[in-house]
Structure 1
Amino acid sequence: MNSCTERTIGIGLAVVLSCSLWLGGCGSGNESPVDDRGLSIRVTEPVQRDFDKIKEDGVLRMITRYSSNTYFLHQGIEWGFEYELVSRFAREHDLALEVVITGINESPYDLLNSGKGDLIAANYAATPERQRYVDFTRPYNLVDQVLVYSSELDNPPQTIEELAQSGLSVTVRSNSSYFHRMQDLKEEGVDIDVNLVPNEKDTESLLFDVSQGKYEVTVADDNIFQAAFSYMDGLVQGPTIAEKDTIAWAVRNNAPELKKELNNYLEGHFQLREDKEPKRSLFLQVLRKRYFEGGRRLANYYSPNPSIGESDGISPYDDLIKSVADSAGINWLMVTSVVAQETKFNPRAKSWAGAMGLMQVMPQYSEVSDTTLLYNEEINVREGVRILKRHLDHYSYMDSTNQWSFSLAAYNVGEGHLADARRLAIDQNKNPNEWEPVADALLKLMHRSYYRKARHGFCRGIETVRYVREVKNRYEIYRNVLTMRQLELNQSSPGVLGFF
């Protein structure tokens, strides 16, 4: 629980699994049949949303997959190569970052062109098929496509031609660049049998299935294969079927300013030398080492199989938070998001203003006489939940969305500054019980013409507005990822009840 002048932790995040999964379809744009090259496209006319609108909203929406090389959760904290690379761009432009995860039978291109997201960052190759519907930034990586065999195969084919004659099926997604390459090979006279799987299967999941002998052959980018090979047994690398695919971010083809800003950013991290070899920034080298060369440590962060993994929950404190939150009658995932926002689950954290422990409880608001006990995880969570519950009760006459927004704001900035903002909203003939006008008033309280008339003076309202957005967005991450994993488990293990 921070004072008004404290800085919040991290970048705002939200995860939306997909329009089709949650809303029954995107429902915007023009309808069109499935593309003849395997892309399922419904929204062909992009909405008008360029960088000026993104800056105005203060939010950049990143479309991606849930995987170890794109975006995933580890102990309640967000990780992933694509996530970290986009996050840095968002921070440099003072933007909150929302993460939109594609769901079952969902097209990332539909999400992009319908305005549900602003860029696709998912290790995508800039193929001609995709460029029919979206534009691409400059590259930030070059990769080779390689065949990957199950180690259970005896004498796997050593050439593409041998594979075509072997009768083996290559398992890929229909919307992948690997499928496009299979079609190109067929046009070149090399007809390989292809087994198409649902598009929600990412490359890492398919590699895992191949390692378990479920499929005989798949295709992967060489960097993804090397990362998986370091912690998956049962994989054998085959011949290269495509060289130096350019990996880039996809944007709407009517968003030239966003593309320009992204290109300027990527140029500082990835360039091609005269010999066509890549030159990477230190930051990009660190990310590559972390996510593609990290060895078996990566398996501690992410498993493509929902039945295995080090942790069956969101954070290291799930049982404690569930118990305390359930006793108080409030949502445990929202409390978990508060803890992640405040301290990233560090029980020894202490702010410059004196806030202590997991939930950054201010001693003056605590009922604990011995303040050193606020470093005790259970005591701290109970005190934090008690304070949060008090705010929720105070705003209980509001609908649940506004109730949580106001309660989180009060937890962050205090009731005094929030009351100033509500009075200012009234002065401007706006509803003081709606979060949006009050959030706008909080931002105004950073300017002297407004805060000099306020009872509690200056408030760095931008931090409180971000705090509320970030906590609520992270809650959506937790809720949707739990649901996604449950769906995956039900698909892989029919009849199994519950994952967490």
Structure 2
Amino acid sequence: MFILRQAPRLRPYIYTAGILFLAVWIVLTSANRKPLIEQITDRGYLRVVSLAAPLSTLDIDQTRTGFEYQLATNFADHLGVGIEFIIAEDHQHVFQALRDRRADIAAANLHLTPSRESIYQPHPSYRDSRSLVIYRKTQGFKRPKSFADIKEGNILALDGSAEAAQLLSIKPDIEVDLLEELNHLDLMTLLQNREATFAVVPSDLFSRVKSYHPELAKAFEIQSDAPAVWYSLKSEDQTLNQAVSDWLEKPESKRLIEQLNRDSTPPKNPLNFVETHAFRMALEERYKPLNPYFVEAGELVGLDHHILAAVGYQESHWDEDAVSSTGVRGIMMLTQATAEEMGVEERTDPRESIIGGAKYLRKMEEKVPDRIPEPERLWLAMAGYNVGFGHLEDARILTQRGGKNADRWEDVAQFLPLLEDPEIAAKTRHGEARGSEPVTYVNNIQKYTQIIEPFRRLNQNRSIKLKPLD
């Protein structure tokens, strides 16, 4: 991580000289060239520079995705050409790729600023955003409502970002730590780790991920709109800009942007602060080497590997050496009898444990009547996985006697805890059981399944690791 301590009075002169030089250079080098759009079609592919970030471009399980990736790919399809992506290290390198003419377009969740418009051509905006000052909620720390309330502490911003430019234009004498080779999620982690007091981030990103950082909150907005735009190198040739404008006005492009905005908004994180911190720590420290085993097991038994991973987290927090007081052990916390039944020789071997647990869960699901639709059948199977299939059937009978739907998990979940009552349990076939545990078990797995992929996407390109709680 590189930090550039801001020198507010010197930097404007450097920018002015650089802008004048680039303006002359652009004019001289733009002569005798084919129109930009014709250069792209002749070449046969569009060159796009982007960032590895949630609203830009991500590589997940060997699949490239992300808002900007999908949007730019659609534009290339509209032009009838292929596409080549350059993944830059940070904002500065994004614009360097434009200046070096290695990219036609910068699509990296960039935001409009006056300083950029003097050198680069902004294309029409496709998403509203503002710059936010955020902070870590701490007991006794009062939320600042303006810069006047910030009396001490450091402010972080990404060097070359729109929000840094806005901040310095509004408060030119303010001291800011400008960070290179990091992303906005790294700034949030630094706040979480108490290595900074404030950070400046775009609202379109923070609004999407704030539930995954429950200890962070918005302090106030920097009063200036900064919509998301693509950039190209400034030129008198407006053919590329016109092509982008025409494409963005197409009804199908507008529908695509609406869909991408929905898809890029992860489901709300249902975990509290402590649970979120523990989940992310386990994801950063333990999950990555286990993911191929969950994928393999999912393909083997025909179950979503995210659900299997959620079961593994609920069972052991992905700790291959986990052992309970009852003797179950490993990632999937298998009993010795279950391990032998599923062909698992070493319960603490991650791959064996995960595949064995997946087979056992599939076996439990096959015991649930196949007339029951998914996902109800799977949730009932998980309850049987946790408490035992006999006790699950007892609870389903109680559910039916109570006038509820024995094929519906939410109804059965109301009757499972009754198995803890000795008088009620005595009238069942399999007797007393800790009926509240499978309810908590299934509810937790549902929560972890919902957020494991969003968390993986958010953690994919972080450089700063989360620190343990004090």
Using the size of structure 1 for normalisation, the TM-score is 0.49
Tell whether the 8 Å contact from 2:127 to 2:228 is kept in structure 1 after alignment. yes
Secondary structure at 1:141 match in 2: coil
Letter matched to residue 260 of structure 1: Q
Tell whether the 8 Å contact from 2:133 to 2:199 is kept in structure 1 after alignment. yes
Where does the alignment leave 5 or more consecutive residues of structure 1 unmatched?
A: 1-31, 271-279, 321-484, 494-500
Tell me the residue number matched to 1:253: 234
Tell me the residue number matched to 2:264: 291
Letter matched to residue 245 of structure 2: N
Residues paired across the two proteins, number: 278
* Residues in 2 aligned to 1:40 and 1:240: alpha-carbon distance in whole angstroms: 29
* Cα deviation, residue 193, structure 1: 3.1
* Residues in 1 aligned to 2:294 and 2:249: alpha-carbon distance in whole angstroms: 41
* Residues in 2 aligned to 1:319 and 1:145: alpha-carbon distance in whole angstroms: 43
* Cα deviation, residue 40, structure 1: 11
4+ long deviations beyond 4 Å = 32-35, 37-44, 46-49, 303-306, 312-320
Secondary structure at 1:295 match in 2: coil
Tell whether the 8 Å contact from 2:157 to 2:201 is kept in structure 1 after alignment. no
Secondary structure at 1:135 match in 2: strand
Tell me the residue number matched to 1:178: 163
Letter matched to residue 36 of structure 1: Y
Question: What are the superposed Cα offsets for residues 411-458 of structure 1, whole Å, 9 maximum, x if unpaired?
Answer: xxxxxxxxxxxxxxxxxxxxxxxxxxxxxxxxxxxxxxxxxxxxxxxx
* Cα deviation, residue 130, structure 1: 0.8
For the pair 1:70 / 2:56, whether they are aligned, the reply is: yes
Tell me the residue number matched to 1:124: 110
Cα 1:138–1:240 change in 2 (3 A) is same
Match of 2:288 among 285, 298, 311: 311
- % identical aligned pairs: 15
Match of 1:264 among 229, 246, 253: 246
Tell me the residue number matched to 2:185: 204
Alignment of structure 1 residues 414-493 onto 2, 5 Å? none
* Cα deviation, residue 118, structure 1: 0.8
Tell whether the 8 Å contact from 2:133 to 2:198 is kept in structure 1 after alignment. yes
* Residues in 2 aligned to 1:104 and 1:141: alpha-carbon distance in whole angstroms: 21
* Cα deviation, residue 230, structure 1: 2.3
* Residues in 2 aligned to 1:243 and 1:105: alpha-carbon distance in whole angstroms: 20
CA RMSD of aligned residues (A): 4.0
For the pair 1:83 / 2:69, whether they are aligned, the reply is: yes
* Residues in 2 aligned to 1:252 and 1:196: alpha-carbon distance in whole angstroms: 24
* Cα deviation, residue 93, structure 1: 1.7
* Cα deviation, residue 218, structure 1: 0.6
Tell whether the 8 Å contact from 1:151 to 1:211 is kept in structure 2 after alignment. no
* Residues in 2 aligned to 1:223 and 1:55: alpha-carbon distance in whole angstroms: 33
Match of 1:138 among 124, 147, 150: 124
* Cα deviation, residue 92, structure 1: 1.7
* Cα deviation, residue 152, structure 1: 3.2
Letter matched to residue 247 of structure 2: Y
* Residues in 2 aligned to 1:315 and 1:75: alpha-carbon distance in whole angstroms: 9
For the pair 1:92 / 2:92, whether they are aligned, the reply is: no
Tell me the residue number matched to 2:152: 167
* Cα deviation, residue 287, structure 1: 0.8
Cα 1:239–1:492 change in 2 (3 A) is closer
Tell me the residue number matched to 2:15: 36
For the pair 1:58 / 2:44, whether they are aligned, the reply is: yes
Question: What are the superposed Cα offsets for residues 246-304 of structure 1, whole Å, 9 maximum, x if unpaired?
Answer: 2211012124111111111122369xxxxxxxxx933212111111354349x9xxx99
* Cα deviation, residue 106, structure 1: 4.8
Tell me the residue number matched to 2:209: 228
35-44 vs 151-160, which moves further: 35-44
Letter matched to residue 193 of structure 2: Q
Tell whether the 8 Å contact from 2:122 to 2:232 is kept in structure 1 after alignment. yes
Where does the alignment leave 5 or more consecutive residues of structure 2 unmatched?
A: 1-10, 271-275, 298-459
Secondary structure at 2:48 match in 1: strand
Secondary structure at 2:227 match in 1: strand
Tell whether the 8 Å contact from 1:69 to 1:292 is kept in structure 2 after alignment. no
Cα 1:78–1:209 change in 2 (3 A) is same
